[in-house]
A and B are shown apart, each in its own frame.
Chain A
């Protein structure tokens, strides 16, 4: 169903059921934070999980999407749908330019180049007048979605965020299971062979990168709308590191791993908010434990244990 295997379809139904039930039990703003992080991580997972390229600079696309949505909402009073769409477009455009440069190298260099390019974007945002420098863009109005949904209500906002997340999730799923996605996996497994079969592997990588950045930009824009703020933290490399952590913890290359990782990491940050710098220490420790002993991640381990594809 929908291109899912049986186990994946059941997992998808469980996820949707949780998304529907949770806001009646838990604080909706917290859940929106989880969903934005989950969409961000799903987009990131498209690169690392299915193309095999570790982008260490995804904060650049997340942050620029966030800035553009916030700015257009605040100064142009756009419809939220358009503003988030512009955030996604910004991510895609930036991804096209920076991706064109980064895919010239692979492996470890790709990671370093994406990191360095994202750092360039960070310094640009620090200096550029429209980002508001250290203050960021504050008090962004939530406005209306498609003209009739008043987003200032937390529950309305929640359903919109949930719809964006599920839409993004299914889009990524569709990409992975399309012929295009099969070629991507082929490139990940054996790039010279894919080239010898006549595929322009660089084009495929770049298209995947742009798609990933577009969805990342949408996630950033949605986040800016939910919290009414876009700041330098969104473009900072610690955000890039966080999305790597989320995906690694949930399970690289699994369909549901990024969402699971987002839930765990966001919950941890939420409950440890008073602990200050200990959050960094714990995140670092989780990183190390995952790499040393837990490389499949939570979902990957469950899938391996129950012999399922998740």
Chain B
């Protein structure tokens, strides 16, 4: 058996893949948080709860309406995204004139309500979601066996992240968005409907979280706490990356997932805390974050 640093290669690559998968979720969630923060100046604490909702909507589509995985991958983000738009229109938009902290508190309350309601309805034990038959099985890559579904998660997450980056950096809609982030009143003076842009941004960020939720559904059991488990780590990821750059969020997300995976191989006890340790190091050496702008 091939060994790398005294570790069997399949184990190393297996953990690397698991790390990439976690990294994919970190990337999609921190990307959504960064986009929403850029436009709304709100840290969306409910991001984890909406990620969980994405997984639940996919589960509900399958079990109540017999709609499969691939349609759910489109439908669930749409449904949850519309929910996000309604939230923004009815509740969150009332806070823009207040201190940013109120946005954090409101969305924290929102996440408690959403998670509590799902816990009441479905309990905390979690429900399985089958991997679609096309993506079952594993492929021999020569150096390791890769479960197809895991490869699919990493690939589709990378594509969606890059597509989001391309929309924001390379299209005229993205240009308007970036301009509105910089100076909303000026963009409004040019005749752009900024409040609508804000609403759509929130919806898009939420849809991204829900998409991640659907991808996560077959890997983790679909349960009301699945978002909370992620979101605290994602906050550390956001602090490490800084919220200044879209590409930065993506890279930081994937990289930290890999760091976490590698820690599991070499020093498993620290795998839960390694992201936080990285955060401490970053705070000591570069407080504004790897890609953050100077305050």
Contacts and interface: CB of A to CB of B under 8 A. Distances in A.
The yes or no verdict on A and B being binding partners is yes
Given A112-B43, A120-B273, A237-B232, A281 B91 contact: no
A65 B114 CA distance: 31
Contacts, number: 120
Contacts of B109: 283-288, 290-291
A54 B112 contact: no
Interface residues of B, number: 42
A276 interface: yes
Interface size classification for chain A: 35 or more
Nearest to B277: A120
Contact of B113 (A108, A237, A284): A284
B105 A291 contact: yes
Most buried by B among A124, A127, A244, A291: A291
Given A277-B120, A288-B109, A290-B109, 16 more contacts: A101-B283, A105-B287, A105-B288, A105-B295, A109-B239, A111-B104, A112-B239, A124-B273, A237-B232, A244-B105, A280-B116, A281-B112, A281-B120, A283-B109, A284-B114, A287-B108
A116 B119 contact: no
A107 interface: yes
A75 B239 CA distance: 39
Given A278-B116, A281-B117, A292-B106, A101 B280 contact: yes
Interface in A7-36: none
A102 B106 CA distance: 22
A295 interface: yes
Interface string A92-121: 000000000110110111011101110110
Contacts of B276: 116-117, 119-120, 123
Most buried by A among B43, B110, B115, B232: B232
A288 B111 contact: no
Contacts of B233: 116, 119
Interface stretch (B94-102, B132-140, B248-256): B94-102
Interface string A251-289: 000000000000000000000000011111101111110
B100 A108 contact: yes
A292 B110 CA distance: 12
Interface in B234-262: 235-236, 238-239
A116 B106 contact: no
Contact of B111 (A113, A284, A286, A291): A284
Contact of A287 (B101, B112, B114, B288): B112
A277 B284 CA distance: 40
Contacts of A287: 105-106, 108-110, 112
Contacts of A115: 232, 235
B120 A119 contact: no
A134 B200 CA distance: 43
A107 B100 contact: yes
Contact of B238 (A56, A112, A126, A283): A112
Contacts of A117: 276, 279-280
28 contacts: A56-B104, A101-B284, A104-B283, A105-B295, A107-B101, A112-B236, A112-B238, A112-B239, A116-B236, A116-B276, A119-B236, A120-B273, A123-B276, A241-B112, A248-B105, A278-B120, A280-B112, A280-B113, A280-B116, A280-B119, A281-B112, A281-B120, A284-B113, A288-B91, A288-B109, A288-B113, A291-B105, A291-B109
